[in-house]
Amino acid sequence: MNEGKSLKNGSHELKNQFQFSDSSLESINKILTFYPADRKQSALLPLLALAQKDNSGWLSESAIECVAKKLDMATIRVYEVATFYTMFNLSPIGKNCIEVCGTIPCCLCGSERILDVCKKELSIDINGTTKDGQFTLKEVECLGACVNAPVVKINKDYFEDIAPDHMREIINQLREDKAISPGSQLKRQGSAPLDYKKEIS
Ligand code: FES
């Protein structure tokens, strides 16, 4: 759960009122057709995700109010959901949001060492953001890709089979604004064994 976060932090609130982008408004119109008109509140999660995307990765008070208005809901109901799910950020985040899975399968495969590399390289702790606004570090629960543990999510992409050296390299590439390669860092095909061709023959 998102604990200890508050929307009542004036310094975090955008000066301008939040508005959905045109492409999000188009998506919203489509999403709303999935539900009966008197059940449109069911579209809350996808609308919050779109609002977060349109608001540089976090949900401001204004964005939450806008979602509530779209779905004819009380703002507090939307806030209750936004504060429950850890994937919603209630304060500004860095340009690169690094989420290290800390659940048991990843932990057994070395995610704590990945977390240590991030802390050391970025000089921040969990839930911290670097002073230059480039990186935010989070520890999260299972990302659903345990078969390729340990797993790190950076913005929208998954980095799997990741070792401390990979993590260091990825951070350096992000610092230099270079392209990074998501997926298995061991170049496995999906979750197939590394030498699966040999095993088949
Ligand atoms: S435990 Fe890390 S992805 Fe499932």
Task: Give the chain's mean pLDDT.
Answer: 91
Higher pLDDT, 11 or 168: 168
DSSP per-residue codes, 138-176: EEES--S-GGG-S-EEETTEEEES--HHHHHHHHHHHHT
Q: How far is the CA of 13 from the centre of ligand 1 (A)?
A: 33
Q: Is the CB of 114 under 6 A from ligand 1?
A: no
Q: Is the CB of 107 under 6 A from ligand 1?
A: no
**Residues in Cβ contact with 60 at an 8 Å cutoff, skipping those fewer than 6 apart:** 7, 12, 13, 14, 18
Q: Is the CB of 106 under 6 A from ligand 1?
A: yes
| Secondary structure of residue 32 in the 3-state scheme | helix
Nearest to 118 by CA among 86, 84, 150, 88: 150
Q: Is the CB of 100 under 6 A from ligand 1?
A: no
Could you tell me which CATH number the domain at 10-84 has?
A: 1.10.10
Could you tell me which CATH number the domain at 96-182 has?
A: 3.40.30.10
ipTM > 0.95? Answer: yes
pLDDT tens-digit readout, 72-95: 999 999 999 999 998 899 999 999
| Residue-level pLDDT at 195 | 75
Question: For the chain, which residues make up each domain, given as ranges?
Answer: 10-84, 96-182
| Residue-level pLDDT at 194 | 80
